[in-house]
Amino acid sequence: MNGSEIIKIVIDTNVIFMAVYDINSKAGKIVSAALENKIMLFSTDTVKEEITRVLKRELNFSDAEINTLIASLPITWLDKLYYHDFISKTKVKHKADKPVEALSLALNCQLLSADAHFKNRAMVDKILASLNN
Amino acid sequence: MKTIAISEEVHRELVNIKLQERERNIAALISILVSDYKRKKLLEAGGLLKRKMSEKNLGFYDLLKSSRKIREEIADEWF
């Protein structure tokens, strides 16, 4: 990586939850790198909605608490308009996973997920190593 | 580049911190302060998440399992 290039990554729900749960985890280190503007993180409106519903339904977060948590994440949320045309080009079989892969195709960047459904997902260790170089 | 107006006192404080931290300029120092602030907010969010999970006796694996179910539900509604 040369100095002028910033790594762009599409991040999935499971990695986001891991990072929030433990900022010192590998996922947390990725999010910390985004807080320091060393990388750029993107995700979909579907992931944002998923997080919102989990927090509300499973953990009784208030709307204000959800907004605060989501605002604390250094993630740019992109809606369907950005990735819709790439849904048909995705390789992942599960319909629910397609938006995330489609966004990584639309942005031409790596996808970071803990979900084995994604055969082409990025390896967190590789990303962290590239940040240390 | 943008300019912001700050009081003499805040300016003095920032210059002192810049010297202490050996930062190259105030802009670099402010960037670090902003990152630290965001990290603090994220840590607070993590603390709240853990507290609520503990109150609900919900493990991390359970959280991911619920999340997966909700993902399917959103896909059915939106696509």
Supply the pLDDT for residue A89: 95
The pLDDT averaged over each successive group of 10 residues in chain A (133 residues) is 75 97 95 94 98 97 96 96 96 94 96 85 85 78
Query: Could you tell me the pTM of the whole model?
Result: 0.90
- CA dist A109 and A22 (Å) reads 25
The residues in A 72-131 lying below 8 A from B, measured between CB atoms, are: 72-74, 80, 87, 95-99
C-alpha distance from A3 to closest chain B C-alpha (Å)? 17
What is the rounded CA–CA span in Å between residue A104 and residue A106?
5
Nearest CA in chain B to A64: B45
| A67 in reach of chain B (CB within 8 A) | no
pLDDT at A4: 57
Tokens 């630290």 — which residue? B36
What are the backbone dihedrals phi and psi of residue A131, each rounded to the nearest 5 degrees, phi first? Answer: -75, -30
By C-alpha distance, which of A102, A31, A117, A11 is closest to B43?
Answer: A31
Structure tokens at A58: 């499973």
CB distance B50–A21 less than 8 Å?
yes
By C-alpha distance, which of A36, A46, A21, A12 is closest to A124?
A12
Position A1 scores a pLDDT of 47
The residue type at A69: L
Q: Quick: pLDDT tens for B30-69.
A: 999 999 999 999 999 999 999 999 999 999 999 999 999 9
Bridge partner residues of A111 (DSSP): A10
ipTM surpasses 0.95: no
Residue B28: pLDDT band (50, 70, 90) is very high
How close A14 comes to chain B (CA, Å)? Answer: 7
